[in-house]
Structure 1
């Protein structure tokens, strides 16, 4: 009876376009190897293991895999693997900094530390030509303890976009009188820089979008030529305002949000949060909200939303031809998993698929790859064995997933 009660609390989950059914959550999963469940026709293989805290990654046409490690405790900051026959072996590592962001564009490998963005020249085989002498593209980014890692992505016009996360849950350390958050000029947003110009620093002119507490998953959508990001929502609605929010409401709220961004957009943190059950932006309780007051319409709405505290860490637009046609141009999201959904079971620890049409989310999201956490008990308690983080598309259209808990690299493929 207890498990049935928990399940009833978890449903219905909702995206902006409607409610997710139990069948959509299950998505008819089949045992697919590597401890994962996937839709019929898909299989998963562990190609590398025990690497350390593997964050974002890229895969070259030559089957080399560049992985940005969270720290340099087990290797240097960027680990290079080569894959053959579904097995990847370590070739080398370089970089004296840990981090998250990594990308390849126009003959260069880009990677970020907690305060800078570097690029490395690649040769015709996508090998780094001088790993010990990167070019510094951006320096001096804010790196206050909380939310230090900088995610990045690139567009088709020579720009690189960098997240600077807010070193805070809700700006409480900097705005104790709740009159206005003073750190929005240098954190909690996305900055745009030229991808080929050395020694840039953040400035008002480089500020691309505001009011984003922390973004880890970000990608350029080629279908509509626009920046998409996944925001980590705030915490502690019930802990801070027990008269306004129940513990269960606080477990589900606020939403983890997907935003489609244009220059000058403001997503509203810390003044607003998105309620995926009411399908609207709400005024934050620190700034006069009571759980019922809608936010000022000047703040943009997300284009898709997901239950609270799932922690979206990876975003990939699928452009390959290996997977069935319904996946083409849709988004895969790696949810790292929650730690603060009590009294509900912890959740997330999976990769979901968000269908798209004409460059916008279209329809309900669905769990695509599950089982990273281990047993149901391990998942519910938050004691996950593996936690999805980075996503990359391989040259044959397979999708690669990193685990930053034990350093496992998964390869997911489809065969009719």
Structure 2
């Protein structure tokens, strides 16, 4: 039983962890209430973000905090009733975002990000889904020359310190690269390294099929039924109870609800996000994902159409859908691109699992020798799934992990 495991959560992180364990000879059952990739991995900008060596920090400028506090923006909104429960994690988030502390966070975070392209491509090639990983990068559009020069310096630093690839475009070069934009901008920063995933759900499903082809098993079940049993773990599934010697919690924003029962209560908080897909009029195209910095949302060419994604919504976990950000963004998006009708009848909603120090939890749950965590990846669960899966599988097998694990240990939140 020592090399048997239940992996709870079938998003990109859970699927990747299950696959890496199975490749090392473990007997693995992957358990989720839904099918693989139907949670937060389903809805995102679909980017494998090699450039994202600096995690999203809490705003430090009072003008930026005041703008968000007015609760009228597209990139960040909040439910007033949710704020009492968010005060503690957000204050800790602000504390960790102070420049001196943030520098150490970014170094640890970059150690994960630097691996993401290679780790994904190894799995995607074996899964037969490498064509979903488009090496086209993405663009940030700017209408202000001064801001464009500011981000040029940021890009130069990312290139110098972490080898991040980029190019700067002036207004004419941007118009040539994206001829169907309806607006003129001063220029753009093109991050050239990232893969743009044409169908994130299909990518996760392909990794799940590879896991099954290697002898892994996927079961529908409720992670909250996890119990200790005979020195190992048991969970109820639609096919009956499943037992294993070890268990992995890869439940994203819901991870804390489970680990709390076993004595570990990490200060997780969620950032909800929405998306819609639109058609394009006539023969218009969008060649690569873009974020218009004046507007604060992302437009991404996907198999299903042009995906309009929102920023962050802070709400209680059980709060009803309030896609006000999409309502605000759509008319602006129509001034940027000749969008046609929506593809879906209703928007998609998912929750990004965040930690106050912006680093995921990867490792053994404190006080539990056979219970492990792989959660808290915030905006980068899709990006870091294979990296996390390999790293945790190596740790569980007693190998030296290919990335130093100390910064991601669960004990830092005790």
TM over 0.5, yes or no? no
Higher helix share: 2
Which of 1 and 2 has higher RCO (CA within 8 Å, sep 6+)?
Answer: 2
Higher strand share: 1
TM-score (norm 2): 0.27
TM-score (norm 1): 0.27
